Amino acid sequence: MNGRYPAAVDVAVVGSGPAGAAWARTLHDLRPDLRIAVFEVGPVLSDPPGDHVKNIADPEARRRAQRASEGPEADLGAADPAATVDGRRGRAGTFLVGEGFAAGGTGLPVGAMSSNVGGMGAHWTCACPRPGGSERIGFVDDLDALLDEGERLLGVSAQALANAPLAGDVRRVLGSALDGDRPADRRVQPMPLAVRRDSNGGLHWSGPSVVFGDVLRTGVALLPETLVTRVRRSPSGAVQGVSVRDLRDDTVADVGARVVVAAADALRTPQLLFASGIRPTALGRYLNDQPQVLLAVRLADDLLAGVPVPAADDPTVVSRGSGVSWVPFDDDRHPFHGQVMQMDASPVPRPDLPADRPGAYVGLGWFTAKDVRPQDRVEFSETAVDGYGMPAPSVHHTLTALDEQRIAAAEEAITTAGRALGTVIDERPIRLPAGSSLHYQGTTRMGREDDGTSVCDVHGEVWDVPGLFVAGNGVIPTETACNPTLTAVALAVGGARHVAKTLATSTPDGKDTP
Ligand code: FAD
């Protein structure tokens, strides 16, 4: 018997990224009577658990935290900028999908995951745009109220960096080139970011620690280095709990639960359901990665003229204070999601750019929505296993003719935006390999009804499996170009509110009150 685990809880959350954290926080706030445990396969990186690694000041310590997030097999960890896996390169804090990355079509050559308390949410860029137009999920009636709460939980602000050097000028120039007759909420504006200014003026980037708030201190149990191997069910099909493996000593245990929330990312949530014998037709299907193009631009001299060159001993002044500008998705005028940030602050480094004053270059990144299709999917093996011993994934993902058209249009749009800002450096926009978005969606998508094209209902409850909920980007059913985390957190809040309202109180003998 493994003493680390309770025999039973009311709600078992699998995964401690933003989606799992939002479930735990919302449920605990609304129903402090419920026993909630969060199971996470990765280690704790920080105190408080789930903090963003960018808040770790010491570069060596930050590097160690990133490495600790890179999964079970060192050779799949690619955070060393020089390291590649079969010519594929991952981002710091992530590890790549194994050899099944391209079982059909181009697959996701740089499809990646993070295994740590906080998940990818400890490594993300924190951009939190709201979906617009066709990106929105029409059948979620209270979507705006949920997005409001998502922004509150993530600590989103459009103002924290709005007045950064150059940011206002970049917005002004882009706005006059691109705004036209857009509605006010879809004009060029500061990117809403999950970041706040500390009392000393420094930046604190939101990881899931911010979403958890106090709940890990006030009652929610966090169980790191614990792989959930299976969702257990009764003969009638209702959820009974989870089976877990303690990675510290390789022992196994069963933990009872009345509700299980699988928030284990868009590749591993379907993996857990598959491993549990829960295999609705749509499971793993509708997988979509947003195609992305990049362009580097040297800002026009008249834009740079007003911004003093930082002192030589303060090379970080531009990156620390730089804003991110947002060119929102708009179905009619601009069906792309655009973000513009100072190269000095970019998560995609460009060592090839000529030396220049800090702030001289901006990087433009335009995402398009993928043509979402059931045949784009992640499948799992009955026999082969991944580095954790879970069913090995194989990815089928192909760009369609419509995708090619959308990408070509995005290349045109990004070039127009780049030319407005200054001198375009790249001969043509750079297409990133599939998987680069790190925004995989659709694999456990929600639907209005159980018609074989969805896995769960509007609350995230899996069709025909009472008590099993799914959460994270995988539940988003629409074609989106914008970054998905805010939406995933909002939908998690919706699911948790539903359970808070409907789950009966447990009596001390473990029975539900009528
Ligand atoms: P995750 O954060 O991936 O968390 C899932 C957790 O589940 C992981 O910790 C994993 O270890 C755990 N897990 C998986 N399987 C099991 C199991 N069987 N048992 C126990 N635990 C398990 N998104 C944006 O919206 N805006 C951005 O600007 C942005 N920038 C990004 C930049 C980078 C470099 C990266 C890496 C990601 C970025 N993203 C961004 C994506 C964002 O981080 C994800 O959308 C978000 O973290 C998803 O939240 P989640 O909780 O669904 O999944």
Can you give the CATH number for the domain in which 344 is found?
3.30.410
CA distance 89 to 467: 39
Shortest-distance Cα residue to atom 39 of ligand 1: 124
Interface confidence: ipTM more than 0.85: yes
pLDDT tens column, 368-406: 999 999 999 999 999 999 999 999 999 999 999 999 999
Return all residues near 492 (Cβ < 8 A) that are at least 6 apart. Answer: 18, 19, 20, 22, 23, 26, 263, 460, 471, 472
- C-alpha of residue 213 to centroid of ligand 1, in Å: 18
pLDDT tens column, 273-324: 999 999 999 999 999 999 999 999 999 999 888 777 766 555 444 555 467 8
- C-alpha of residue 338 to centroid of ligand 1, in Å: 21
- Tell me the CA end-to-end span of the chain in Å, nearest whole number: 32
Shortest-distance Cα residue to atom 18 of ligand 1: 228
Task: Indicate whether 91 belongs to any domain.
Answer: no
- C-alpha of residue 95 to centroid of ligand 1, in Å: 12
pLDDT tens column, 26-66: 999 999 999 999 999 999 999 999 999 999 999 999 999 99
Residue 476's SS3 state is coil
Task: Indicate whether 469 belongs to any domain.
Answer: no
**C-alpha dihedral sign at 14, 18, 23, 26:** positive
- C-alpha of residue 17 to centroid of ligand 1, in Å: 5
Q: Are 393 and 474 in contact (CB under 8 A)?
A: no
Task: Indicate whether 346 belongs to any domain.
Answer: yes
The CB of 39 under 6 Å from ligand 1? The reply is yes
Task: Indicate whether 338 belongs to any domain.
Answer: yes
- C-alpha of residue 417 to centroid of ligand 1, in Å: 30
Q: What pLDDT sits at residue 217?
A: 96
Shortest-distance Cα residue to atom 34 of ligand 1: 124
**Taking all residues of the chain, what is their mean pLDDT, rounded to a whole number?**
91
Shortest-distance Cα residue to atom 9 of ligand 1: 119
- C-alpha of residue 428 to centroid of ligand 1, in Å: 31
Instruction: Give percent of the chain with pLDDT exceeding 70.
Output: 91
Shortest-distance Cα residue to atom 15 of ligand 1: 264
Pairing mode, strands 324-327 and 189-190: antiparallel
Would you say residue 511 has pLDDT above 80? no
- The pLDDT-based confidence of 153 (bands split at 50, 70, 90) is very high
Strand boundaries in 118-269, DSSP class E:
156-157, 189-190, 193-197, 203-205, 221-223, 226-233, 239-246, 251-262
The CB of 268 under 6 Å from ligand 1? The reply is yes
Q: Are 15 and 119 in contact (CB under 8 A)?
A: yes
Task: Indicate whether 480 belongs to any domain.
Answer: no
Shortest-distance Cα residue to atom 33 of ligand 1: 124
Task: Indicate whether 247 belongs to any domain.
Answer: no
Which atom, in ligand 1's list, is nearest to the CA of 15?
A: 7
The residues assigned a catalytic role are 439
The CB of 194 under 6 Å from ligand 1? The reply is no
Would you say residue 163 has pLDDT above 70? yes
- C-alpha of residue 119 to centroid of ligand 1, in Å: 4
- The pLDDT-based confidence of 509 (bands split at 50, 70, 90) is low
pLDDT tens column, 68-114: 999 987 444 444 544 556 667 788 999 999 999 999 999 999 999 99
The CB of 206 under 6 Å from ligand 1? The reply is no
Domain count, the chain: 1
The CB of 322 under 6 Å from ligand 1? The reply is no
Q: Helices (H), strands (E): how many in the chain?
A: 11, 22
Which atom, in ligand 1's list, is nearest to the CA of 485?
A: 25
The CB of 212 under 6 Å from ligand 1? The reply is no
What does residue 5 show for φ and ψ, rounded to 5 degrees? -110, 140
Pairing mode, strands 226-233 and 239-246: antiparallel
The CB of 40 under 6 Å from ligand 1? The reply is yes
pLDDT tens column, 320-370: 546 789 999 999 999 999 999 887 666 666 778 877 877 788 999 999 999
The CB of 126 under 6 Å from ligand 1? The reply is yes
Can you give the residue range of the structural domain that contains 346?
162-205+291-368+400-433
Q: What pLDDT sits at residue 356?
A: 81
Task: Indicate whether 450 belongs to any domain.
Answer: no
DSSP string, 170-191: HHHHHHHHH-TT--GGGSSEEP
